[in-house]
Structure 1
Amino acid sequence: MPHTVVSDRQRSRAKQLRRTMTRAETLLWRYLKANRMDGLGVRRQTPIGSYIADFVCFSSKLIIELDGESHNFEERQKADQRRDAFFVAEGFQVLRFTNEQVMSNLEGVVEAIRETASVRARGLPPSLPLPRKRGREWIEQVRGASRMDTHSLSASQVGLPPPLAGEGWGEGFSAMGLPMVDPKHPDWKVSPKLRANARALRRNSTDAERILWSELRASRLNGASFRRQVPIDHYVADFVCHEAKLVIELDGGQHFSDEGERADWRRSAAIEAKGFKVLRFNNHEVMTNRSGVLETIVTVIAERTLSPALPRKRGREQTVSVEKKQP
């Protein structure tokens, strides 16, 4: 899981909440701490985004929230809904119990948590290994007036010879501030700072980005060639298909705020000004409805790719032969 920046104020608040836990939180924590429940690692009072979750199991992407009487009010329930929506967008499932349920039926609460964590752990895909860099080979090939991708996986990992299609540009001329070269598409300059940011984003992909990339890389989606974390204008797009002029963006919970939506609008406008179409999905959609996300992407690619693919050479020869035989 990529590390997120936690402010000193939020960290201090989490520590304070750990010191002043309610009776229900203290009772449940006795059963969750030190991997006591089926070896599951659970943390208490954990900062996630702008919130502090009561209990978190990262291996099962599960959050457990305990509600006191104050949560019965309508305004507080609306706040809980916004809070849950953020957690869900980050790929978590949220279980809510009241303090009374914990105090009167602790065994039932623990069993519900155990069952949900077990189902989640079985259903979540394993973390995908990120490809290693091959920057030195890129530089050597560029100097020889040829191009190759800078990332690769070993043949034992994917069963295919490197390099794989669809990876980022890595180092080379553009890292020196010269134009990014793509013969079939307009060039634009990429600053060293933006290039470094793109590399960092590739190294710290979210779970949703890893899952989607496993479906897009190496032209696996209907032969469409994608690259990930590609600098466009002053931004770094999550996934780009140059052939269809399509950009795919995955949004976490921070994108639901008003400020986040305004920033996304400016970002999309700048990317669309380069001739691209922007598709946005939230992380939860990728985690829970991968086939639906892929179907949408395939449909848009088909709409934007106007020229049909030419048949292979052998197919063309057979077509010509058939046409000659016809009277």
Structure 2
Amino acid sequence: MRGRLETFLTLAVLGLFALFIAWAEGNLNPYYQRILNTAFVYVVAAVGYNLVNGIAGQFSLGPNAFMALGGYTAALLMLPLTQKQMVWFLQPLVWPFNAFSLPGHLFIVALLAAGLVAALGGLLVGYPALRLRGDYLAIATFGFGEIIFVLANNLIPLTNGSLGIKAIPEYTNLWWSGGAAVATLLLVRNLASSSFGRAMRAIREDEVAAEAMGINIFRTKLLAFILSAFLGGIAGALLATLITTISPTLFTFTMTFNLLIIIVLGGLGSVTGSAVTALIFAFLQEGLRFLEAPTRIGPWLVPGIPGMRMVVFSLLLVFLMIFYRRGLFGRSELSWDLLLRRLPGRRQSRAPHL
């Protein structure tokens, strides 16, 4: 009975979410649409990142690299041929990207291709690094991010170097970003509650004990890492086709730092926690923009301080590390079962006194 009720409630929420997206697409201010799109992209990236760092317990510092791979892949596939000729005026674009362009109705193909390219990158860096223990994965993924940054700056026939790729068609809307966010949540949430998810949590708690239980440590970690990279690639593709301009500076370590703040704030291992804090972070990031703008205090004009928002987020991360290490949700999840148990009249009644 409870299972059917939870299924009904989930379908009802999804229906309301679809109605909200339909309303927002036609009525919401474009400025707030852009913020909401960015928030949904953060949800995809953060939930995928938490799969490795939180659920599997492996410290990765490379989501910016996988987002870059996905972003450039989507841009190369979706940019019209005439625009490609204008963008690559220093050196011609390499084959086969100079010979074709995907139409808008095949945007899903570009998203999947972006995810697969990022997953291949995850396989290349994860296969050697995940055989080792300790902080080797963090070092390897950080180095991989720097390699991608250098390649993006220097592979001009493929990435257009530091000039980046401009005038990318804006295919990402609330349907695409919101749909990707919901699909990511459902995928990772169900995966976390499966036998594979239990294997990841066992590895997180104690690799030696997990191996003694018959869990294939390397294969489990590698699959989690590849799936995380796949979701990062999709997030990068959505971001590229949202802001319509990408360059190597978009995918620096700052992107990883932002995602790290999100998953730590939400709680390492909490899927819904990452989703909620991703939404909060996106709106805070825009709301704190005034800190970097000039401000007049009486007769004095105080100049803006570039990067002040990152100072605020850095202080927030330090505060969390010292006083609230488990984050807002810890390892708990928002669920219908939790909500139903908290409703009046649903709590288990106490035994009567004799």
* TM-score, structure 2 normalization: 0.24
Question: Counting strand residues as a fraction of each chain, which structure ranks higher?
Answer: 1
Question: Counting helix residues as a fraction of each chain, which structure ranks higher?
Answer: 2
Larger radius of gyration: 1
- Structure number with greater CO (CA < 8 Å, separation at least 6) is 2
